[in-house]
Amino acid sequence: MADYGTLEYWEERYKKDRNPYDWYQKWDMLENLLKEYIGKDDKILIVGNGTSRLPEDLYDGGFRNVECMDISLTAVDIMHERLASRGIKCQVSDVLNMVQFLDNEYNIVLDKGTFDTILCSENSYVKADQMLKEIYRILNKENGKYICISYGQPSYRLTYLKTMNKWDVDVLSVKKPMSSNIYKLTHNNNSNDGYQNEDSNNNSDRPDLFHYIYICKLKKNNE
């Protein structure tokens, strides 16, 4: 099994394959959804970008204030070559300690698989908590959003995302690339599991068919 939680795995992977690779969902499956939550003037940071085409896709879609980062120097070198013509900044950084980035700097932190990777590592609970604290730190406290695209089901991921009690979380489920249907899950305080699906005919009993998008909006009056 691949050791996704280590830097060594990613360095070796990117040295062997420098081609663009997008985890889970490509831009054409996400564009309409993301445009509902991201403004054209928002300052966006993609964490754990790897060699994804997401920075270029966002930029070409009119989101010109985009940056990205990754812990892998090899991945960042690859992205420097690809992004130079668009002027998109890409930096080496550790999502557990993003010292390069200022408090309250970004309107959007966008994550496609990075939180999942952290949960594959040793001491995952501690690291997940540290990652979320760092994301909270760099988000604009007036309108910041953390958008996390994950294979993890709400019953697992919300355990982490709600621990800090810093944001309200909307959950969207997106069928894996075999289908383009998007469904919204709404919080229901009266249900046993806390969640219900707005569409009763969407195979919600087959979680293996879906990826999940967690829209984490900062609560008002957070200290």
> Tens of pLDDT along 138-171?
999 999 999 999 999 999 999 999 888 889 999 9
Q: What confidence score (pLDDT) does residue 203 get?
A: 54
For residue 191, the SS3 value is: coil
Residue bearing tokens 């908590």: 129
Residue 72 phi, psi (nearest 5): -90, 120
Contacts of 190 (CB under 8 A, 6+ apart): none
Q: What confidence score (pLDDT) does residue 2 get?
A: 64
Q: What confidence score (pLDDT) does residue 28 get?
A: 86
Q: Which two tokens stand for residue 217?
A: 């909006």
Q: What confidence score (pLDDT) does residue 186 get?
A: 40
d(CA 38, CA 31): 10
pTM summary value = 0.85
d(CA 207, CA 115): 19
Flag residues of the chain having pLDDT under 70. 1-2, 178-205, 207, 221-223
d(CA 29, CA 180): 6
Beta strands in the chain (DSSP E): 44-47, 66-70, 89-92, 108-112, 145-150, 167-175, 182-187, 195-197, 210-218
d(CA 69, CA 98): 9
DSSP 57-104: HHHHTT--SEEEEES-HHHHHHHHHHHGGGT-EEEE-BTTB-TTS-TT
Name all domains of the chain by residue range, CATH numbers in brackets: 7-16+25-218 (3.40.50.150)
Q: Which two tokens stand for residue 191?
A: 């249900």
Q: What confidence score (pLDDT) does residue 101 get?
A: 97
For residue 190, the SS3 value is: coil
